[in-house]
Amino acid sequence: MTAIATGSPTERYRRERPPVSPECGEELARITDDIEDPVVKLRYLQSVLHQEGEKHDLVQLVPIPPARRAWYRLKGLKALDAVADAQEAVGDRTRAARKTARRVVVGTTAAALLFVPFLVAVIAWQVDKWSSAEPAPIASSVGSSTEANATSVASVTESLAQQALTPEPEAETPVTRYPVAEALAEEDLGIVPSLIWLADRGPGWELYSNGLRIETAYTVKGTPRDYRVHSRDGKLLPMRHTRPIGILFHTSESDLWPLEPDYEKEVRKGSEALLRFVKREQAYNYLIDRFGRVYRVVDDDSRANHAGHGVWARGNEVYLDLNSAFLGVSFESRWEGGRTLPITRAQLIAGRNLTHYLRQRYSIAPEMCVTHGLASVAPKRGLIGYHLDWARGFPFEAFGLPDQYSQPSPSVALFGFNYDNAFLRAVGERWPGLIAAEKQLADEARERAISLDDLRRERQAEYRRWRAALPTPDERSLEAPQTADNRG
Amino acid sequence: MDDRNDHGPESSGSGSHTGQSQSGTRTRIGLDVGTSKVVAARGDSVSPQTEAQLNAFFDVPYSALHEQSLKANRTPFYREDDRLIVYGDASEKFAHIFNANVRRPMAKGILNPSEPLATHVLETVLSTLVPVSRNPGELLAFSVPAPASETGHELTYHEETIKRYLKGRGYTPLAVNEGLAVVLAELAKEGFTGIGISCGGGMCNVAVSYLSIPSLTVSLGQGGDYIDEAVGAVVNEPATRVKAIKEETLDLTRDGGDKIDKALHIYYDKLIESLVDEFGRAVHRTQKLPRNDQPMPIVLAGGTSKPNGFRDRFEKALRRRSWPFQIGEVRMASDPLTATARGALVAALAER
């Protein structure tokens, strides 16, 4: 995307223009959040977008996103000068950030000025060293006979080629492998429609414009979604919701036969048995079999029994009833040997198409697409990881989603859930978000001068209180819906 | 003959057509030049003063008696050859008396090409709301529609005509897209990011804004007038009468009662579906949508969006379709009739 608010002022409020990049937008949004007066806010935005217009394309060439962000932040703060006559309209937070930015710019400039002479001196010294260095031994050995030279060069080339062809033996030092998202190869063939719509339907199937085909022959209706959300300060918000707010990815934990023609019958029968089970138990909203067929099992308006006592949070909202709040999407696969067994390429493509469709259909935020293994808890034991499906290895990146393994785990950070050795043995490594959540908890215990165990106990008690506050199905049926559910 | 006079009621805001601004201070104006109404906003962005004038006229044959009667009643009019042109709010009253329709200087958001008096009447209506500027070059932001794809209307003539008139009154005119003006008025807290929709008399305008940048503007050449005329045609009533019923009693949350009510429900649904379809097509075509992960709030404004239940029907139609962005809260503007003018005022005040 290119910029921005160019052209005369008479055109800027009426001509369509490409929007700024998300990085630029997010940084400017952070700053404008702190400006109350609409007129000052608009004046600021128009000014900064106009200033940034010409440079925007150049900045986009910088390959490091954090560097681009830092640039936009600095320029955004600097552009507050344009509304300098209305400084009282700008909040304290942004004014403080502006002062810091000024110091950073001055400091960096001064450091750069000091560094340049030093850098020149180092380069000069290095050049001098190279030019006066003795020839390398291999060069000195060349020369007595052309044949010998040719042999020597050929052997060196051969050895290099051999090195290139032979994979390096794995280092003996164990490498910490975080369960990061696995990337799919970029798909550059074919066009992808920007809108996903129901392109065709027939008895037992629906076809969507992105190629997603949903089999509906097994679809059943369950208990309607109806849930409430806690705020982070523990209040059970009064609004009742009936639309899904997120997607929880599962594996079916079922038997898997080798994906080979000899086992065709077993593979098919296994999937059919699984479908019947999922339908009977109303276990998931969607199941994706190993051939990439997507089955809608429990309809979207109904809750499926897929999440148990899972916990997830976004912003100020904490979700404890994930069965109602989240759509359950299960891949026919299972957790084995400390990982989820690889899903098929067909499952991956179907899962991605389904995710895109559901996200558009219900305006689901990317950070609300998460795996069961990241949300699952065992409340009585106060432990995370009651279920481990996709506790590592879910290909978030291939699904166009942020890496949820790096997000602090809400069950740990908010409610002090712990884990035991069995969990560590099963998972192998703690994921970065779990480490971050534990650190948050430890920092808070230190700040409050209480032990980590005491803090965990306190949080666990809170979790039990929050859960107890949730209306039971009977209570829900007695309450009349208060408002239409408008949320994304 | 141009025998305009100013016998109309004094407008409630500053100055009016006497050419005097309220004080010697700078008075920027936001103007919504709508097919059905012209609304002006002035003052500050927090509590602006607004005033409106019906963008319509009614002509009666000239006679000394008629003229005396109009003057006695302080009805705004001017004489055009052998006709007396009653303009603004008063024209609708006359249309009711004669059981006929008012005439419109604008149609489908722009100067009415089939109305010979269009420019003259529009300027007269504008003069009742825009005083001659005391500070030459003062900024005045006025709303313009987005080009309607289905009519292919050329906007240049309409826009330039208004600009020239406003320059003649001593202003520096600044054109603001109508949908964007709704965003500027109502989505300041969201950083001017969201979708503004203005459903007016002649057309509906939509703008997708990202940090005040209009990344997509769409219009549909149908609005309240279309509903009035279509309903009038099927129930054999003048559109002016249908409009009065629509504004006074229509409630889209209840099932249609009598024939007019039922027809109004049908044509409202058709308008909403057409608008959402047109917006969907534009979204599908464009390459300029912001890559924003946050849900996009939507604000509805304009007189046609006022009936109770319009918001719910619109939201349902919207959510039935898939969108490449998340739809956030769909809400009505705090004052749907003045949102465009207030947004234009914000733009006028923000300019140096």
- Based on the fold, state whether residues B104 and B210 are members of the same structural domain: no
Domain boundary among the residues B148, B177, B206 is at B177
Mean pLDDT on A109-119? 77
Inter-chain residue contact B211 with A20, CB threshold 8 Å: yes
Domain boundary among the residues B156, B177, B198 is at B177
- Based on the fold, state whether residues B152 and B264 are members of the same structural domain: no
How far is C-alpha B262 from the geometric centre of its chain's CA atoms?
Answer: 25
Q: Which residues of B289-313 are buried (b: 16+ CB within 10 A; e: fewer)?
A: bbebebbbbbbbbbbbbbbeebbeb
DSSP 8-state code for residue A448: T
Mutate to test the interface with A, among B217, B286, B322, B331 (most CBs of A within 10 A): B322
Q: Shortest CB distance from A42 goes to which of B312, B321, B350?
A: B350
- Based on the fold, state whether residues B271 and B170 are members of the same structural domain: no
Inter-chain residue contact A4 with B188, CB threshold 8 Å: no
Residue-number span of the structural domain to which B198 is assigned: 186-332
Model-wide pTM > 0.80: no
Instruction: Report the residue of chain A nearest B348, measured CA to CA.
Output: A39
Can you identify the CATH homologous superfamily of domain A202-478?
A: Peptidoglycan recognition protein-like (3.40.80.10)
Mean pLDDT on A30-53? 84
Residue B350 falls inside a structural domain: no
Which pLDDT score, from 0 to 100, does residue B257 have? 77
Tokens 């259909």 correspond to: A361
Inter-chain residue contact B326 with A28, CB threshold 8 Å: no
Q: Which among B90, B112, B125 has a CA at the least distance from the CA of B4?
A: B125
- Based on the fold, state whether residues B210 and B318 are members of the same structural domain: yes
Residue A428: band (very low, low, confident or very high) from pLDDT cuts 50, 70, 90: confident
- Based on the fold, state whether residues B140 and B267 are members of the same structural domain: no
Looking at this protein, which amino acid is placed at residue A231?
S
Q: How many domains does chain B fold into?
A: 2
Mutate to test the interface with B, among A2, A39, A48, A361 (most CBs of B within 10 A): A39
- Residue ranges of domains in chain A: 9-105, 202-478
Mean pLDDT on A215-243? 93
Residue B20 falls inside a structural domain: yes
Three-class SS state of B2:
coil
Q: Please check whether residue A393 is in contact with residue A340, taking contact to mean a CB–CB distance below 8 angstroms.
A: yes
CB atoms closer than 10 angstroms to residue B288: 17
Residue B100 falls inside a structural domain: yes
Which residues in chain B are contacts of A18 at CB distance < 8 A? 215, 287-288
Which residues in chain A are contacts of B347 at CB distance < 8 A? 13, 42
B89 vs B9, residue with greater confidence: B89
Q: Shortest CB distance from A17 goes to which of B191, B215, B289?
A: B215
Q: Model ipTM?
A: 0.86
Residue A188: band (very low, low, confident or very high) from pLDDT cuts 50, 70, 90: low
- Based on the fold, state whether residues B160 and B256 are members of the same structural domain: no
Mean pLDDT on A35-46? 88
Least confident of A433-447, A456-470, B24-38: B24-38
- Based on the fold, state whether residues B326 and B273 are members of the same structural domain: yes
Q: What is the mean pLDDT of chain A?
A: 80
Mutate to test the interface with A, among B184, B193, B213, B217 (most CBs of A within 10 A): B213
- Based on the fold, state whether residues B209 and B154 are members of the same structural domain: no
Inter-chain residue contact A38 with B283, CB threshold 8 Å: no
CATH number, domain of B104, equals: 3.30.420.40
Q: What is the pLDDT of residues A84-94, one digit of tens each?
A: 655 566 666 67
Is pLDDT of A186 > 60?
Answer: no
Least confident of A99-108, A159-168, A286-295, A303-312: A159-168
Q: Shortest CB distance from A46 goes to which of B173, B280, B350?
A: B350
Residue B338 falls inside a structural domain: no
Residue A163: band (very low, low, confident or very high) from pLDDT cuts 50, 70, 90: very low
- Based on the fold, state whether residues B19 and B165 are members of the same structural domain: yes
- Based on the fold, state whether residues B27 and B160 are members of the same structural domain: yes
Q: What is the pLDDT of residues B42-57, one digit of tens each?
A: 988 788 999 999 999 9
Which pLDDT score, from 0 to 100, does residue B4 have? 42
Residue B337 falls inside a structural domain: no
- Based on the fold, state whether residues B190 and B173 are members of the same structural domain: no
Alpha-carbon gap, residue A275 to A258, rounded angstroms: 19
Is pLDDT of A5 > 50?
Answer: no
Which residues in chain A are contacts of B312 at CB distance < 8 A? 484
Q: Please check whether residue A278 is in contact with residue A335, taking contact to mean a CB–CB distance below 8 angstroms.
A: no
- Based on the fold, state whether residues B168 and B192 are members of the same structural domain: no
Inter-chain residue contact B283 with A39, CB threshold 8 Å: no
Is pLDDT of A375 > 90?
Answer: yes
Q: Which among B303, B216, B241, B297 has a CA at the least distance from the CA of B268?
A: B303
Which residues in chain B are contacts of A46 at CB distance < 8 A? 212, 350-351
Residue B345 falls inside a structural domain: no
Residue B343 falls inside a structural domain: no
